[in-house]
Structure 1
């Protein structure tokens, strides 16, 4: 990745200009993704379109209460697919093509890392899960100071709405539903979010800040914030920072994409196995069932695995 080549007002003007351009493509991609996604919803659910007012009410009601509609899972997955594709894949592609004048393929610098690197990245995600469950529990119990009651109420309301949607998306009625969730929630989400947040946004911050660590953590904070699940902000930020370091260390966007994919796919698989009664532990209650020593051991393993990844990075170069 390129280091800071700018100084003074030129640096901040260039950063602001590029951020505004990227945000513009983000909004355009989001609009187009929602448009084509809703077209897919209409086709899948076979919603009547003759009465415009009724049609609008049905779409709004579907977004708020998808469980009321037949075949709603497939419709919601289609909406998620198009939204992620246009917002986080095609949006960054357009930004890179028209603003930075470079190919999206340039997000990979140098040779593809050895297969061993991908294995260690996945193992790091795996061993971090007990610790992350403890962080999730801590984050969910955060209480804002006096005077922020309105903000806290809004955060809880937003969290509740997103929790209901998540619960609906994790309710698999068939093997096909599970496969579709893997493709959308794990696949396109990991691909698009890593391209956008690590490949484009973090790289932009590296160039203008001149400090890789600051760039990684700022991009990770934005990555977590944009999910609008504030009671999961810190664990998601830590995860985003890990993906950011993988990208900086190896220069290949495919390493954080695979780690991100594994993290999402593991969660989906745990829920699917619980619903199939293959495991007895409810993934939603996992944090309260993990002993403290497991989280402590997880921290030790995280440090060891991160050090191993860093050393492998030096061997790669």
Structure 2
């Protein structure tokens, strides 16, 4: 079939180069398509920030072009078995999915504390311009997220879950866990190096440096889920669950003001929240261990 496996057996560096080209092409092409649709509908003088629904569509198209297309194209050209290359298996059993959902819930307090620690980061004075740029990137990302979440009602919530949770979970996991971990695996057999390297790239790609640590930790957990289960749908579900929690909590007026839900913990509640995080972390370890056992038995 056309181009299938044409680069199979090529060195990891070559496959990485191909992947970078595919990501660049996919990002540019999908952005042109998305913005072309927007300008055709609203005109060249319009500001997309005023149209949350169109922003969601642009986000969806960009995610497919930037993350999913490069992963699938790399698997197609670099393997004679693209499904195996990306670890695409059957939908996991309900028990594994339930434990994955619970594990994400239990890990959330520790991730929030990592986020609080990350936000305290300060660079040396001579790197002030860099820090200002990083903070500007963080502010832009927050404004974009708030714009995407703008609106009320079940329809808006469902669209946000589709774009921010489901689409992001599928497209990003196919790229970073499916493709990137596979490419890095061409350099080393040490699964810890593979998983953490992909997690670092996953976090860095988001260009949100004051949320780098929690995103890296989540990326590493997603990587271990793939390593244990050899099935991309397990980290996809974990990613979806994590993002869905965030979307729901930020869309509800009561939940988004609850610091124990959002993770923006005040100084007076830091100690009790830390105790909760420690207890949850022990329960998370037990839950993750059970997931590892179940997936190992299945494989």
1:109–1:160 Cα change, 3 Å: closer
CA distance in 2 between partners of 1:305 and 1:233 (Å): 25
Residue 312 (structure 1) shift: 2.0
Q: State whether residues 40 and 75 of structure 1, in contact with CA within 8 Å, keep that contact through their aligned partners in structure 2.
A: no
Q: State whether residues 12 and 187 of structure 2, in contact with CA within 8 Å, keep that contact through their aligned partners in structure 1.
A: yes
> What is the SS of the residue equivalent to 1:16?
helix
> What is the SS of the residue equivalent to 2:200?
helix
Q: Which residue of 1 aligns with 2:12?
A: 15
Residue 107 (structure 1) shift: 2.4
Report the more deviating stretch, 99-108 or 302-311.
99-108
Structure 2: give runs of 5+ residues left out of the alignment. Answer: 1-8
Does residue 98 of structure 1 match 2:80?
no
1:278–1:297 Cα change, 3 Å: closer
1:15–1:272 Cα change, 3 Å: same
CA distance in 1 between partners of 2:91 and 2:111 (Å): 29
Q: How many residues align?
A: 286
1:287 to 241, 248, 265: 265
> What is the SS of the residue equivalent to 2:258?
coil
2:32 to 35, 39, 55: 35
Residue 187 (structure 1) shift: 1.1
Q: State whether residues 38 and 79 of structure 1, in contact with CA within 8 Å, keep that contact through their aligned partners in structure 2.
A: yes
Residue 222 (structure 1) shift: 0.2
Matches within 5 A, 1:261-272: 261-272=240-251
Q: Which residue of 2 aligns with 1:240?
A: 219
Matches within 5 A, 1:169-184: 169-184=148-163
CA distance in 1 between partners of 2:107 and 2:84 (Å): 30
Q: State whether residues 41 and 78 of structure 1, in contact with CA within 8 Å, keep that contact through their aligned partners in structure 2.
A: no
> What is the SS of the residue equivalent to 1:256?
helix
Matches within 5 A, 1:107-146: 107-108=86-87, 112-146=91-125
Q: What TM-score does the superposition give when structure 2 sets the normalisation length?
A: 0.88
Q: State whether residues 228 and 295 of structure 2, in contact with CA within 8 Å, keep that contact through their aligned partners in structure 1.
A: yes
Matches within 5 A, 1:121-270: 121-270=100-249
1:147–1:279 Cα change, 3 Å: closer
Deviations 1:72-124 (Å, cap 9, x if unpaired)? 00110111010001111122212222233442465236665422111111111
Question: How big is the alpha-carbon RMSD for the aligned residues of Structure 1 and Structure 2?
Answer: 2.2
